Amino acid sequence: MHSKHMDQTPSPSQQSAPTASSALSATPGPSATLAAPVRRSGGLKTPGMAAGALLVVGTSLLALTGCGNAQSGKSGNDGGAASAAASPAENKGGKQLSKLLWMGDSIAEAEAPALGAAMKAGGVEFKSIASAGGGTVVKGDGPTAAFADGTFKDLSKAVGSFHPDVIAYQVTTYDWGTPAQQSSSYERLAKVAEDAGAELVIVSAPPFKIDEFYKGHEAAIASAPKAAEEAAGKNAGQIRYLDASALWGTDSAAAKAQRSKDGIHSCQQGSAAFANWFGQQLGKQYSFTPAAADRWAKGSWTGDKVYGQLKCG
């Protein structure tokens, strides 16, 4: 059963009618169209977790085996890479990181529980406005332009209440638009961050399955990370770009990509791998030392309902 970004419930500012909340899984129907990328209904009704799911990260956080393959019921770790002391921040002269605001679509939403746990363990306050069925900032053509408007409204509210030091945006699966539209949208996001006294980090999306739903947008999906990197190059000091292919690779079907059975999202182990990697990258850019993975990787976040909806276990 597929779980699609566009299957999801939009964020509050993107809704036009009441919908079921946080619906991550749905079977794509033939009526889905590019003109009206509404979230399809169906899928799991309850977030039940498979036995042993709370140990899915376990000692193999950095082993990067197939996502969703729960580890055996070990209560400890093997003292390996996952429990090694975190590297100290390499840029102690950089901006102090004390509050991180996380943005993106349902891929980012599945990563948020692990990232939040990792940040908290490192002494950083964390807030996610990643939105299943939303999250894009690209003011392109078609319905995603309205989604972008909703994202900026959500961002304004979050910035006003949370006051982040760093805003991190993961490129979404529907940053649809021309390279120029993408670049200008990322620069607009950077301006919002600057006005809020924050810096912007843009991280590329992991590789994901390009099915019938996405085929018509392959060019935009390919150009988005390039546009983000170019925007960062033109706005040095305000936008930082991170290429996540260093972690995931570029093949969504490869074990390294850590995608769940739907080929798009990550389960607990993949989300933890991302949180570990992303924390290390932030430690290189800011005055922040990430916590060792064994301090957070097997916490209560692994039971978050998002993983039950993705049938992780």
* pLDDT surpasses 50 at 176: yes
Q: Per residue in 131-173, pLDDT tens?
A: 988 899 999 877 788 899 999 999 999 999 999 999 999 999 9
User: Which candidate, 19, 205, 198, places its Cα nearest to that of 125?
Assistant: 198
Residue count of the chain: 313
> Is residue 180 included in any domain, yes or no?
yes
- State the total domains in the chain: 1
% of the chain surpassing 90 pLDDT: 64
Mean pLDDT of 274-286: 97
- Gap between the Cα atoms of 17 and 9, Å rounded: 10
Rounded average pLDDT over 191-208? 97
Map tokens 């290429």 to a residue. 243
The DSSP output letter for 169 is E
Q: Is residue 84 part of a domain?
A: no
53 in the Ramachandran plot: left (φ > 0), alpha (ψ -120 to 50) or beta? alpha
| Domain CATH code at residue 158 | 3.40.50.1110
- What's the angle, vertex CA 223, arms to CA 217 and CA 226, rounded to 5? 160
At 269, list the tokens: 């182990």
Q: Is residue 72 part of a domain?
A: no
Stretch 272-277: mean pLDDT: 98
* List of residues 6+ apart from 31 with CB closer than 8 A: none
Is 211 part of a structural domain of the chain? yes
11 is in which domain, residue-wise?
Answer: 5-66+91-309
| Greater pLDDT, 193 or 81 | 193
User: Who's near 173: CB < 8 A, 6+ residues apart?
Assistant: 5, 105, 107, 205, 208, 214, 221, 264
Query: Is residue 83 in a domain?
Result: no
313/298 Cα distance (integer angstroms): 14
Q: Could you give the CA distance from residue 267 to residue 249 in angstroms, rounded to a whole number?
A: 17
Residues 17 and 300: their CA atoms lie apart, in Å, by: 33
Return the pLDDT at 91. 55
Task: Tell me 94's DSSP state.
Answer: S
In a domain, 194, yes or no: yes
Q: Average pLDDT, stretch 65-73?
A: 35
Q: Which helix (H) or strand (E) holds 116?
A: helix 106-121
Order of strands across the sheet with 199-203? Answer: 125-128, 99-103, 166-170, 199-203, 239-242
Can you spell out the DSSP letters for 121-154?
HTT-EEEE---TT-------STTHHHHHHHHHHH
